[in-house]
Amino acid sequence: MTNFNENQTVYSLRGKDKIKILFVCLGNICRSPAAEGVMKAIVDENNDSARFEIDSAGTGNYHIGDLPDHRMRIHAQRRGYNLTHRCRQVNPSDFEDFDLIVAMDESNRRNLQRIAPTLEDEKKIIMMADFADLATRYDHIPDPYYEGAEGFELVLDLLESACNNLYYALK
Ligand code: 4NP
């Protein structure tokens, strides 16, 4: 997708003093904690971490309190990301607390729409893959849970691209 600078929700936040981003997937042990780690590294590298609050959560409740999946931690560590997030479930008050709620796939988006308190809140939901250069083939960040090593590498490739483009769209 090439129109990531045209996303209205993101555009309206451009240059804002404080931007709060919540990354959301199903389990909150693979994709969204990795997105959180990648985005934190990007804002750090740009000496811009004071302007951002970055967190992640899952629509499911299977792994509450757990560290990210060990496979995701290993693949992320090889690229320099230390993932220490503890799994939590997304809740309606997140729509009050965050400016952007970033879904990894359509199922996440539908679940988020179901718990968004208002229609206005629903506008905070954006799709991670809309910001990835590599998304010519991927309109979502594929769930790596039942995949092999290449599934985790693909997630990290897509997230690095998408988080970079999201960051520059918010700059
Ligand atoms: P995630 O991956 O949504 O990227 O964290 C999953 C992790 C766990 C499960 C499904 C997906 N699960 O069914 O336990």
> Is residue 10 situated within a structural domain?
no
Q: Which residue has the tokens 């997230």?
A: 159
- Tell me if 164 is assigned to some domain: yes
User: Residues 94, 121, 130, 143: which is the catalytic one?
Assistant: 143
Residue among 28, 29, 155 whose CB has most ligand 1 atoms within 8 A, to mutate: 29
Residues 18-68: pLDDT tens digits?
Answer: 999 999 999 999 999 999 999 999 999 999 999 999 999 999 999 999 999
pTM beyond 0.85: the answer is yes
**Ligand 1 atom nearest to 34, measured from its CA:** 4
30 Cα to the center of ligand 1, angstroms: 6
Catalytic residue among 30, 31, 105, 163: 31
In angstroms, what CA-CA distances link 100 with 26, 46, 124?
17, 20, 5
Residue 84 placed within a domain: yes
- List pocket residues of ligand 1, CB cut-off 6 Å: 25-31, 62, 143, 145
Whether 8 maps to a domain, the answer reads: no
Counting the structural domains of the chain, the total is 1
* Alpha-carbon span 84 to 33, nearest angstrom: 8
The runs of H, that is alpha helices, within 16-82 are 31-45, 70-78
pLDDT of residue 154: 96
Q: Provide the domain limits for residue 65.
A: 16-170
Q: Which of 99, 128, 164, 123 is nearest to 25 (CA)?
A: 128
Confirm whether 110 is domain-assigned.
Answer: yes
Domain membership of residue 4 (yes or no) is no
Q: Note whether residue 7 is domain-resident.
A: no
Residue 147 backbone phi and psi in degrees, to 5: -105, 175
Question: What CATH code is carried by the domain that includes residue 156?
Answer: 3.40.50.2300
**Strand spans (E) along the chain:** 19-25, 52-58, 100-103, 125-127
Question: Is 5 part of a structural domain of the chain?
Answer: no
Q: What is the pLDDT of residue 137?
A: 78
Per-residue pLDDT of 88-140, as tens digits, reads 999 999 999 999 999 999 999 999 999 999 999 999 999 999 999 865 679 99
Q: What is the dihedral of CA 51, 109, 146, 142, to 10 degrees?
A: -70
* Banded model confidence at residue 1, pLDDT cuts 50, 70, 90: very low
